[in-house]
Structure 1
């Protein structure tokens, strides 16, 4: 009797989640399915996910090789074979997803899964990330492709070209809700404004209140007046806005009893403010840890200023003046 062993490893957990959330069915409902194909587009995408999470850095064209010793009837279904995941099928599946709209497909699937799993979507955190890439890229090869080029490097590698990624996740579990690939020179202020505008109807029509959470790049006059005025948002006011510093000074000059204590080391003061034509509530947070850090920065700045003045005094002390007035005027 011939015995044969097949591996599942950690892929069984991933495949179990894929089946539980019905990922294959959700994709196949949206992307056309050819009955003549051995596997559907959804199964091809599931295969790419398993391959990508299989600690494999080999080219996608070698996906059949990756699945050769895997228990495919457990990971997928009876009848699925390794050579069904050939580069032609995977390529067609990616093209089908692109034609549908990869961002739209991701968002629709994520929304459906979050609804069936009861994920709280009230607070939605938005941010971007940069992927540094090496090598040459022909910018004119495909006018529909994202632009891989130099931009603001969050990886501190300005010498490398990059692509940008936009992602919005739920506060509940950090579940990705939106994912978009962007040009490498995309600016956060523009990306955030476009996303806030796109979310306006969705947020306003939501049964439960929803809030957009992002860093200070979200808060610009144009973004507030074009989108944020109509949705809930949480952000940090940029220090470049004069009203920010004025509000902090006003809060600092208030007696402690007018502050709200969070715990022993942290407290806040709330202000109802109309800014950029939008009614808002600003919170000034006072942290003992931040205060100590600020005091150290102030002490270092004072030391630098003292050394600078001492150097200037020594320089003046070596000069000769014709009279008292000349010395005072120097």
Structure 2
């Protein structure tokens, strides 16, 4: 019988599953190859990133200097590797790794990891869907003008890569400042393929074309990019003139509105999906030759007619 004083109990909870997935995709090895390892380090950059992921999915929210506390009652060696202790995961170590990640480029690192998963699990990338979302934050967050003024007054401030400010809030918190995340996912399981952080007041229509071109420049496979109507501007169409893409045409365009109003149901083709019909027309909007597909739903048409009669 083992004496009770020699028994040490640590928790894993759901973190074992997350650690297993991280190991399966080889994230730790990829990070170590990108950032490099020093034989004198007790914890590798890959292990630090793995620890950050476990902490982020541990349903806690604490300052960075309290990071080691999260792992004090966890089976750290089992989750992160032999010899790794909670005290090794201090804010200095984490900060240095974060600085290296930023210097190398988070978008490119994310892409390398994603493509590794795509190849390993044979995920289809025939279609790539691009969209954005806003993330609200609490705090003052100096704007660019304030930072410039402080620098002129010799006040030390740390540079910020994006502008955290007020903008259109997807989570209905216009009172909070925010930043934007542009994300490309595959149609096969919604696998994240590309990530980019943007200013809080950034508009989709102003950047989607550039984001799509950046994504295309980093992949080694053919794909059809899918956008919502925010993409559909003359500038974006010209940027994507050599690419394959699919987007909804916004009815805010007079050309689109006139087309919808002029379509005769009798001239439309019946869809294989019951209750739908369609008509194909050519367009040269923005100086780019396109095929527009006008789709009509019989149920929607009947519903709209009833609303007009009320």
Short-chain TM bin: 0.7 to 0.9
Shift of 1:237: 0.5
**Kindly tell me: are residues 142 and 72 of structure 1, through their superposed partners in 2, closer, same or farther at Cα, counting changes over 3 Å?**
closer
Secondary structure of the 1:276 match is helix
Secondary structure of the 1:121 match is coil
Matched with 1:194 is 210
Runs of 4+ aligned residues of structure 1 deviating over 6 Å after TM superposition are none
Matched with 2:60 is 56
Deviations 1:192-239 (A, max 9, x none): 021123244457x63xx41111111111111111x2211111111111
Q: How does 1:59-208 map to 2 (within 5 A)?
A: 59-139=63-143, 140=147, 141-201=157-217, 206=221
Question: Which entry has the higher C-alpha Rg, 1 or 2?
Answer: 1
Shift of 1:250: 3.9
Matched with 1:15 is 19
TM-score, reference length from structure 2: 0.88
1:296 and 1:47 map into 2 onto residues whose CA distance is 57
Return the match for 1:273 from 247, 270, 283.
Answer: 283
Matched with 1:319 is none
TM-score, reference length from structure 1: 0.83
1:254 and 1:294 map into 2 onto residues whose CA distance is 15
2:307 and 2:214 map into 1 onto residues whose CA distance is 41
2:70 and 2:250 map into 1 onto residues whose CA distance is 49
Shift of 1:296: 4.2
Shift of 1:260: 3.1
Q: Which runs of 5+ in 1 are unaligned?
A: 301-330
Shift of 1:160: 2.3
Return the match for 1:259 from 264, 269, 292.
Answer: 269
CA contact (8 A) 1:32 1:96 kept: no
Higher relative contact order (CA 8 A, sep 6+): 2
CA contact (8 A) 1:262 1:268 kept: no
1:199 and 1:68 map into 2 onto residues whose CA distance is 40
Return the match for 1:236 from 243, 248, 253.
Answer: 248
Shift of 1:8: 1.1
1:76 and 1:243 map into 2 onto residues whose CA distance is 58
Secondary structure of the 1:193 match is helix
Q: Which runs of 5+ in 2 are unaligned?
A: 148-156
**Kindly tell me: are residues 63 and 201 of structure 1, through their superposed partners in 2, closer, same or farther at Cα, counting changes over 3 Å?**
closer
Secondary structure of the 2:284 match is strand
Return the match for 2:305 from 272, 284, 295.
Answer: 295
Shift of 1:107: 1.3
Shift of 1:143: 4.0
Greater shift in the superposed pair: 231-240 or 42-51? 231-240
Q: How many residues align?
A: 294
Matched with 2:237 is 224
